[in-house]
């Protein structure tokens, strides 16, 4: 770790503890502080070791969010979805200001449209916009040892929150149901906010009981995640949580060769020289229009090669956000006709596919362990939101299967180790 980064991390710890320490002398709080200190320390240590190992294992030069290739230059017209996807990052510092006029009504429309396109439950995403409610919700969501990491929110003038609620039984099932679609809708909202230059951040470290009680939801519901939004403060090199996490997380992404596999798990996907002529992307590249085409299944002519479609979808997944930036996902690209057919049958695909991308991840990870959420499902669903929007941006008809798939058969066809679960398969039509 660079000395500057060590200093910044230390300052982050101090920033978290000192104010609370001075506010109260209660012994319980001191105990909580001590435990929290160790938790921070453990996260930093594990993150650091993990990062170093990963960087050793791959080539550190490629562990960045730098585009794998200049995709927009391959298009005849504006392929601007890329700009939005690369511009999106988690913001943890905001400035005062009113939300853009019409933001909330158009966001509610977007949620409705996305829920239809993704077959998710629109009632699972709650938009909170009243100042007092936001303040109270932020205060309550940070309660508890594991959630203090988000205390930066207390100092931030956030102007909106999205709260995700789902039936608890769906969260703890062996194979969580229905969450994927809801998470995809939530990530659609994140990209929609990015288009409007509104900053946002996914929040997993929240006190879900406090949030559920505040929302007056019944006890069968859980609120595993929130997304905050506001006017992002321009990044400066000041030792604050936003800059620290931007440096250590936002800029870092695994290369395609370590998250994608060619035909079978373990055979790295190789980024090749593409023989591409210019492609014609969808005329309207905004998230709303893309969701509309997905919902209507109405695309213009797709002139992108299969190789470019696959690589673009993988790249869109690569730059998606994941809890703690773990990027534990694996995408297995299947292009062999017979195997495609078997995969399609195993997940109930209704159309004929030219290729399949299987999305899998290990069920447990550091974040899941600490926060007790199925992050393998959550992170992969976010990636699927990016992949499907990217396919639509190339006018590429596709079919995403996440419900009722025969996980064992798909796992065998992809050569997945038993600890790696498959969430869904994207079929390219
Ligand atoms: C499901 C999920 C939960 C997250 N929870 C938190 C959180 O509680 N606090 C936080 O500051 N960031 C949180 N993040 C943001 C991630 O740390 C961030 O997405 C990741 O480091 C990649 O950075 P980027 O979003 O800037 O590209 C979360 C992200 C996801 C996808």
Q: Is the CB of 368 under 6 A from ligand 1?
A: no
Q: Is the CB of 250 under 6 A from ligand 1?
A: yes
Q: How far is the CA of 323 from the centre of ligand 1 (A)?
A: 5
Percent of the chain scoring above 70 in pLDDT: 84
The residue among 329, 415, 335, 340 whose CA lies nearest residue 376 is 329
Q: How far is the CA of 345 from the centre of ligand 1 (A)?
A: 35
For residues 1 and 45, what is the distance between their CA atoms, to the nearest angstrom?
11
The pLDDT of residue 342 is above 90: yes
The pLDDT value given to residue 273? 85
Residue nearest to atom 10 of ligand 1 (CA): 203
Q: How far is the CA of 43 from the centre of ligand 1 (A)?
A: 14
Q: Is the CB of 249 under 6 A from ligand 1?
A: yes
Q: How far is the CA of 92 from the centre of ligand 1 (A)?
A: 10
Q: How many CB atoms lie within 10 A of CB 172?
A: 11
For residues 356 and 334, what is the distance between their CA atoms, to the nearest angstrom?
5
pLDDT tens-digit series, residues 49-95? 455 455 444 444 456 889 999 999 999 999 999 999 999 999 999 99
Q: How far is the CA of 380 from the centre of ligand 1 (A)?
A: 14
Mean pLDDT, the chain, rounded, equals: 87
Percent of the chain scoring above 90 in pLDDT: 69
The pLDDT value given to residue 243? 81
Q: At what angle do helices 375-393 and 306-318 cross, to 10 degrees?
A: 140
The pLDDT value given to residue 39? 52
Q: Which residue has the higher pLDDT, 230 or 147?
A: 230
Q: How far is the CA of 243 from the centre of ligand 1 (A)?
A: 14
Using the Cα atoms of residue 256, residue 259, residue 261 and residue 266 in order, give the sign of their dihedral.
positive
Q: How many CB atoms lie within 10 A of CB 120?
A: 23
Range 97-104 average pLDDT: 96
Q: Is the CB of 253 under 6 A from ligand 1?
A: no
The pLDDT of residue 277 is above 60: yes
The pLDDT of residue 24 is above 60: no
Q: What is the pTM of this model?
A: 0.88
The pLDDT value given to residue 251? 82
Q: Is the CB of 150 under 6 A from ligand 1?
A: yes
The pLDDT value given to residue 61? 43
Concatenated DSSP letters of 174-242: SS--SHHHHHHHHHHHHHHHHHTT-EEEEE-SS-HHHHHHHTT--TTEEEEEEEEEEEEPPP-SSSSHH
Joined together, the tokens standing for residue 208 give 């879900």
Bridge pairing between strands 260-262 and 330-334? parallel
Of 324, 373, 381, the one to substitute when testing ligand 1's pocket (max ligand atoms within 8 A of C-beta) is 324
The pLDDT of residue 303 is above 90: yes
Q: What are phi and psi of 399, to 5 degrees?
A: -140, 125
The pLDDT value given to residue 169? 85
Q: How far is the CA of 297 from the centre of ligand 1 (A)?
A: 31
Range 295-311 average pLDDT: 95
Q: How far is the CA of 184 from the centre of ligand 1 (A)?
A: 15
The pLDDT of residue 15 is above 70: no
pLDDT tens-digit series, residues 318-341? 999 999 899 999 999 999 999 999
pLDDT band at 4 (very low <50, low <70, confident <90, very high): very low
The pLDDT value given to residue 28? 54
**Residue holding tokens 């996440």?**
402
Q: Is the CB of 199 under 6 A from ligand 1?
A: no
The pLDDT value given to residue 261? 98
The pLDDT value given to residue 234? 85
Q: Is the CB of 200 under 6 A from ligand 1?
A: no
pLDDT tens-digit series, residues 120-132? 887 899 999 999 9
pLDDT tens-digit series, residues 368-422? 655 678 899 999 999 999 999 999 999 999 999 998 899 999 999 999 999 999 9
The pLDDT of residue 145 is above 90: no
Residue nearest to atom 21 of ligand 1 (CA): 325
Q: Is the CB of 232 under 6 A from ligand 1?
A: no
The pLDDT value given to residue 274? 83
For residues 73 and 82, what is the distance between their CA atoms, to the nearest angstrom?
11
């Amino acid at each position: 770790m660079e000395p500057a980064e060590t200093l910044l991390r230390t300052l982050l710890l101090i920033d978290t503890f000192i104010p609370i320490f001075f506010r109260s002398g209660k012994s319980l709080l001191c105990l909580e502080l001590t435990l929290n200190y160790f938790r921070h320390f453990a996260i930093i240590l594990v993150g650091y070791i993990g990062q170093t190992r990963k960087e050793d294992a791959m080539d550190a030069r490629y562990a960045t969010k730098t585009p794998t290739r200049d995709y927009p230059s391959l298009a005849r017209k504006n392929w601007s979805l890329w700009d939005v996807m690369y511009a999106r990052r988690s913001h943890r510092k905001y400035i005062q200001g009113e939300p853009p006029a019409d933001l909330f009504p158009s966001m509610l429309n977007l949620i409705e449209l996305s829920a239809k396109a993704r077959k998710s439950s629109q009632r699972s995403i709650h938009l909170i916009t009243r100042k007092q409610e936001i303040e109270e919700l932020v205060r309550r969501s940070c309660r508890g040892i594991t959630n203090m990491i988000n205390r930066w929110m207390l100092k931030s003038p956030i102007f909106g929150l999205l709260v995700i609620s789902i039936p608890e039984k769906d969260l703890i099932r062996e194979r969580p149901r229905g969450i994927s679609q809801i998470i995809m809708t939530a990530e659609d909202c994140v990209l929609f906010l990015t288009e409007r230059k509104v900053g946002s951040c996914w929040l997993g470290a929240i006190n879900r009981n406090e949030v559920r009680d505040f929302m007056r939801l019944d006890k069968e519901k859980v609120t595993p995640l929130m997304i905050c939004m506001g006017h992002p403060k321009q990044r400066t090199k000041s030792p604050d949580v936003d800059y620290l996490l931007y440096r250590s997380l936002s800029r870092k992404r695994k290369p395609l060769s370590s998250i994608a596999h060619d035909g079978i798990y373990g055979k790295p996907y190789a980024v090749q020289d593409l023989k591409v002529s210019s492609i014609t992307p969808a005329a309207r590249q905004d998230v709303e229009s893309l969701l509309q085409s997905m919902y209507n299944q109405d695309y213009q002519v797709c002139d992108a090669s299969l190789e470019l479609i696959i690589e673009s979808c993988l790249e869109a997944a690569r730059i998606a956000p994941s809890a703690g930036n773990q990027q534990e996902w694996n995408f297995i690209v299947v292009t062999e006709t017979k195997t495609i057919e078997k995969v399609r049958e195993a997940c109930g695909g209704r159309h004929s596919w030219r290729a399949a991308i299987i999305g899998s991840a290990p069920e447990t990870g550091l974040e899941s362990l600490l926060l007790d959420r199925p992050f393998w499902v959550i992170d992969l669903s976010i990636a699927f939101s990016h992949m499907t929007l990217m396919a639509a941006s190339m006018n590429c008809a596709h079919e995403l299967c996440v419900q009722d798939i025969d996980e064992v058969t798909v796992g065998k066809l992809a050569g997945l180790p038993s600890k790696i679960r498959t969430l869904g398969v994207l079929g390219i039509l």
